[in-house]
Structure 1
Amino acid sequence: MKKQGRQVLMGFFYLEKIFGKQRARKLRKKLDRSRLPKHVAIIMDGNGRWAQRRGLPRALGHRAGMESLRTVVELCLELGIQVLTVYAFSTENWKRPQEEVKLLMDLLHEYIQNELDELHHQGVQVRAVGRLNELPSRAWQEVVRAMKVTAANSKMTLNIALNYGGRGEIVDATRRIAELARKGKLHPEEITENLFQEHLYAADLPDPDLLIRPAGELRVSNFLLWQIAYTEFYFTRVNWPDFREEEFLLALISYQNRKRRFGGL
């Protein structure tokens, strides 16, 4: 079944490659490489809908989404985008059917096993944010291995949000700050936005410049709530498995056509 599923996907990908590359070449001419975002965040949404519209199992939709992630990582490396944060599994995703949850964890394990050597070779640092200790041990071990192997890499950061929720991150940061205050190491008047930022999961990463949400949904779904205060949003009806070079370039061009004021005039 897995072999047949991959053959079906390869057929879709072959057609997409033929037509998408031609459109992407035209878009590249419009791209200003001096004005690219440093940090792009993506809510990888629409895998199940992509599969259902084609009469395929949802599992193949999730697998197809892995191909889109591979494409976007390659483009970020090529264009010099420093950080890519992807929403892979939210704290709310545990509510999905147990079979689908297991599939997503298996795909996480598979992605790391298949891609880690190449990511490491390309200088990508793999990181993960979320309540990682609650992940199944098999998936958690692969995530830890990926982070250890690539820890010294600096060309690009691939930041994977796993068992992640923006509200949960804020709660966890508040707990750490409250514990410091309880121990007498911090006074309430010392709590500032900068101090709070220091207690988030990935405090050293810059806030996202651009947040991309595929699949036609117009919400942020509890993703990076603190960090996206001044992030530019890009929404598209294209489902994540169809989000390839052309779509990524369209998002970047849209970003470049905006004037970021950060609350000023």
Structure 2
Amino acid sequence: MLRRDCTINRLRIGGDAPVRLMGVINCSPESFYRGSYTPAGRVYDRALAMIDAGADLIDLGARSTAPGSPPITVAEEAARVEAALSELDGTGIAVSVDTRYAEVLDLALRHDVHAVNDISGLADEHYARAVADSGLPVFVMASLREPGDAVGLAATLAALDAVVARCTRLGIEEYVLDPAVGRWVPGRTSEDDWGLCRNFEAFSSFGRPVLAAVSRKTFIGDLLGREPDDRLAGTLALTAMLVEKGAAVVRSHDVRETADLLRVSAKMRGR
């Protein structure tokens, strides 16, 4: 039987639950959107402000995955995650840790973490086992061998099919699918991303909640001729459409504005 929901820290996602909102906190100064960078010592205040503004959970990452970002070591990522999570321990705030390295996940598990955000789609067996052994719910991205390497709708559906099979094999039952909209690999174009968004309802065919993660991304900027700090209006317009196409959770840098969008959308749908 298809399972259309997932539970993270008692928060139900998918099914007939409201569309949930994930606020983004980047502890990486290399982030493509500098407005999302939160240095150590300010993570708790930023997270609390997001929860007060309407976020249901926080997605915390310490490594920029945007193409061309300066590389950092796993040790640097781990140190940033350690500092950030130490601020959130005992607060009751639901936290997803965004990493693809077992060493970072192992450190994160010593803190109050409630989910894993894996852009590698569990393709790496060592990391996949670490995620499965954690027992945490997973946001898992469409990836065949490397993050976001599926190009086009058909390849993305095939990647999601592979992701679902990996979850089944590993015994992971609580997970949300991410169709990997974004410029993840050189072979992907803005038109590829628009194609995924136009066909977003297709990703619900797997019977799992689907994540919309399009906040301020390159393809929006390419269309509008805008830099990341000037892509909010475009992001909100697209987000509204993706909610109509079945998104169960929205990942956003702009929590207050997106929370307003979701409230209006729910009202229009009689929810």
More helix by share: 1
Structure showing greater relative contact order (alpha-carbon pairs closer than 8 Å, 6 or more residues apart) = 1
How high is the TM-score relative to the length of structure 1?
0.40
Query: Computing the radius of gyration over CA atoms, which structure comes out larger, 1 or 2?
Result: 1
